[in-house]
Chain A
Amino acid sequence: MTGPPIPAPRGPLSGAVVDALRGGPVRDVDVTGADPYGDDLQLALHCCYELHYRGFDGADADLEWDPDLLRLRVAVERVFLAALRADVEPSDDVDAEIEALLVEPVGPDLRGLSHHLLRDGTMEQLREYVTHRSIYHLKEADPQAWAIPRIGGAAKAGLVTVEHDEYGSGRPERMHSLLFAEMMTELGLDAGYGAHVDRVPGETLAEVNLMSLCGLRRSLRGASVGQFAMVELTSSPGSERLVRAMRGLGCGPAAIRFYDEHVEADAVHEQVVRRDVLAPLLAAEPDLAADVVFGIRAALFLGERMQERLLGAWERGGSSLREPVPAAA
């Protein structure tokens, strides 16, 4: 099986990783002063993590466990993680955190991507939004699957219940990643895995890199569950706005189906994540509370950075992508 194309490097860190993917030796790089959320560092991390998912066309699959490349990844990862720890206020009050996520803000001028797309989004902005989201949704639920062997008992059973639903409950045609690909196709976008990595900025890669970072490090399993909980608790109202936005823009049924499915799916996932994942996890491992909150807050922090990148570009009348997507036929 071939994977997606090897991305174009964006600086010294991603340059070193890309050269290694192409078969060259792993160079020593200096991470001092690297922008933890910048394009170069985030692409370097993305490339290292993808070796654990689908790999790259033309890259040796065994690079996944190349000690030199792993050493480089960990050095880069530490910069990212240290920045998140510094930028995210610590807390171990999971209940208060969940309570805050369950309040739905209402008002005429709310700032947010789904609010904007519903109020006055254009078809081009919707296509850009979907392009950004494709980095995660074409592998929806995969990063959180790493947490399954790392937790036990009832929390494991609860997590698998949600993951099973994400993977279509045994029906491949209902897999959320496939519904997303069908939406992309209907919007005239290339639905190939990894097809848009070169187009998306570091802000977009960072959100997904957080998922992979927490999934691949057992010590961050609490943060992985926290990140997942944040998504499942907040996605239903936003998905409902996106359904209305897409109807308003005249999108077809395959496009609307993805977010339509998430209105109902995430309403019940919220309940399962709270009752059957978080509650038993924290009963069994109370020391994970601070990491759960860290996962929630880090995901919110990176989500807001991505949101501002998109809204800022649109407010200036430009594109939020590094290079445009081809116009729909």
Chain B
Amino acid sequence: MADPTSVVLTDDGPALVRGPVELSLPDGRRVRSDRAVTAVCLCRRSKRYPICDTSHRRKVRRTEGDE
């Protein structure tokens, strides 16, 4: 039997899927990723959904001079 597909669910962000993968979306779109590992967005905040763009990160408001 072949090795099972590995999917890592992170506590703070995306699911990590060993690629290449093709993701099928409810609207019929298919998104292909050839990367060795693909980060699939779970929070749905990604501007590149279904691919993670780090939009899940905690945001902290800063004013000029803080940095």
Chain B binds chain A:
yes
Residues of A within 8 A of B (CB): 102-112, 161, 164-165, 169, 236-237, 240, 263-268, 270-272, 275
State whether B62 touches A161 (Cβ < 8 A). no
A86 to B2, CA, bound (A): 54
Contact A104 B64 (CB under 8 A): no
Query: CB distance B67 to A102 under 8 Å?
Result: no
Query: Using Cβ atoms and an 8 Å threshold, which residues of chain A touch B54?
Result: 104, 236-237, 266-267, 270
- CB proximity of B67 to chain A, nearest CB, Å: 5
Is B14 in contact with A107, judged by CB distance below 8 angstroms?
no
For residue A272, which residues in chain B have a CB less than 8 angstroms away from its CB? 16, 37
Checking A102, A104, A161, A236 against B37 with a beta-carbon cut-off of 8 angstroms, the contacting residue is A161
Q: Which of B51, B60, B62 contacts A267 (CB 8 A)?
A: B51
Main DSSP-derived SS at the A contact region: helix
Complex Cα distance, B47 from A237, in Å, reads 11
**B binding-site residues for A, Cβ under 8 Å:** 8, 10, 12-14, 16, 34-39, 47-48, 51-54, 57-64, 66-67
Considering the complex, give the chain A residue whose CB is closest to the CB of B38.
Answer: A268
Q: How far is the CB of B9 from chain A (nearest CB, A)?
A: 11
With A103-B60, A240-B47 already in contact, 19 other A-B pairs whose C-beta atoms are closer than 8 Å:
A103-B57, A105-B67, A107-B62, A109-B63, A109-B64, A110-B64, A111-B64, A161-B36, A236-B54, A264-B48, A264-B51, A265-B35, A267-B54, A268-B14, A271-B10, A271-B13, A271-B39, A272-B16, A275-B8
* Cβ 8 A contact of B67, one of A104, A112, A265: A112
**Bound: A237/B59 CA distance, A:** 11
A102-B57, A271-B13, A271-B16 known; A164-B63 Cβ under 8 A: no
Query: A residues within 8 A CB of B47?
Result: 240
Determine the distance from Cα of A279 to Cα of B59 in the docked complex, in whole angstroms. Answer: 25
Asked whether B64 lies within 8 Å of A271 as measured between CB atoms, the reply is no
In contact, B37 and A106 (Cβ under 8 angstroms): no
Distance from A172 Cβ to chain B, minimum over Cβ atoms (Å): 14
